[in-house]
């Protein structure tokens, strides 16, 4: 069964995807699975273990389960300082 | 440690931030400023653009400060990261710590800036003199190596 979520992209991911957010109907059950799906579609080049994910406004683990209506934030490798 | 870390689009004022660390029992103060430099990996840099998720960056920054307060015998600690478009010489990040003795102030200041750089959702885009731009630490193509910055 598919669920409806919103994917939000930052920095290089936003530029690659060509949009800040998109509605995604997905069979993915975890943040990691959804990352694989959108990374393939948009050509994200960074390995997942160098990236971070947040769900509904808080940092989360890649193994977090997704629920209908979630907003998933994909963060490429960070470079503060 | 609410309000111990902030994200700003305004110029950072190190002197006023430092005054907020003063307390009668402090015998040491260590501060760190990260500045925008004009050269990275041999390319002349004209400007930098920092992007963030401000709410998550602030929360994670406050977590880092709280960790430093548990790990080291310090009195006060504060951090600020600037975002938006910055120019050469601008202060991009500021960290300050006060403590009774210098060792803890140095150690905590180092811990905070290192964790900020690794953990906060902040991204840096360099604008080069030659016209190109690069997101630092991000791969440029599927098989590409990510550009790095100190």
Rounded Cα gap, residues B49 and A56, in angstroms:
26
Segment (H or E) for B118: helix B102-119
Beta-strand (E) ranges in chain B? 5-8, 28-35, 39-40, 43-52, 74-82, 84-87, 91-99, 122-128, 133-135
Q: A10 and B56 in contact by Cβ < 8 A?
A: no
Rounded to two decimals, the pTM is: 0.92
Q: Are B117 and B76 in contact (CB under 8 A)?
A: no
> Per the structure block, which two tokens stand in for A55?
């769900």
Q: A79 and B141 in contact by Cβ < 8 A?
A: no
- pLDDT tens by residue, A12-55: 999 999 999 999 999 999 999 999 999 999 999 999 999 999 99
What is chain A's percent helix, strand, coil content, to nearest 5? 25, 35, 40
Question: Which pLDDT does position B143 carry in this prediction?
Answer: 44
Q: B140 and A81 in contact by Cβ < 8 A?
A: no
- The answer, yes or no, to whether ipTM is higher than 0.90 is yes
Q: Are A76 and B135 in contact (CB under 8 A)?
A: yes
Q: B139 and A59 in contact by Cβ < 8 A?
A: no
Question: Which pLDDT does position A51 carry in this prediction?
Answer: 98
Angle among Cα B46, B47, B50 to the nearest 5 degrees reads 160
Question: Which pLDDT does position B146 carry in this prediction?
Answer: 64
Q: Which residues of chain B have pLDDT under 50?
A: 143-144
Q: A10 and B123 in contact by Cβ < 8 A?
A: yes
Best mutation site among A9, A41, A45, A79 for testing chain B: the one with the most B CBs within 10 Å?
A: A79
Which residues, including other chains, have CB under 8 Å from residue A45's CB and lie 6 or more apart? A16, B138, B139, B140, B141, B142, B144
Chain B interface residues facing chain A, Cβ-Cβ under 8 Å? Answer: 34, 50-53, 55-57, 59-60, 81, 92-93, 113, 116-125, 135-142, 144, 146, 149
């Amino acid at each position: 069964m598919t669920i409806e979520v919103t994917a939000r992209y930052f920095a290089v991911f936003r530029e690659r995807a060509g949009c800040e957010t998109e509605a995604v109907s997905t069979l993915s059950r975890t943040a990691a699975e959804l990352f694989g799906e959108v990374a393939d579609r948009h050509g994200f080049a960074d390995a997942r273990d160098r990236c971070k994910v947040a769900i509904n406004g808080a940092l989360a683990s890649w193994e977090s389960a997704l629920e209908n209506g979630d907003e998933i934030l994909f963060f490429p490798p960070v470079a503060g300082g | 440690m609410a309000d111990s870390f902030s994200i700003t689009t305004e110029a950072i004022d190190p002197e006023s931030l430092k005054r907020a660390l003063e307390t009668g029992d402090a015998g040491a103060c260590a501060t760190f400023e990260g500045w925008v430099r004009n050269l990275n990996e041999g390319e002349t840099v004209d400007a930098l653009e920092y992007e963030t998720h401000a709410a998550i960056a602030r929360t994670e920054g406050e977590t880092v400060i709280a960790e430093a307060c548990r790990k080291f015998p310090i009195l006060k600690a504060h951090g600020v990261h600037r975002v938006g478009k910055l120019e050469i010489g601008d202060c991009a990040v500021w960290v300050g710590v006060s403590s009774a003795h210098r060792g803890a102030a140095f150690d905590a200041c180092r811990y905070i800036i290192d964790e900020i750089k690794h953990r906060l959702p902040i991204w840096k885009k360099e604008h080069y003199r030659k016209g190109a731009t690069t997101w630092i630490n991000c791969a440029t193509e599927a098989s590409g190596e990510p550009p790095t910055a100190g």
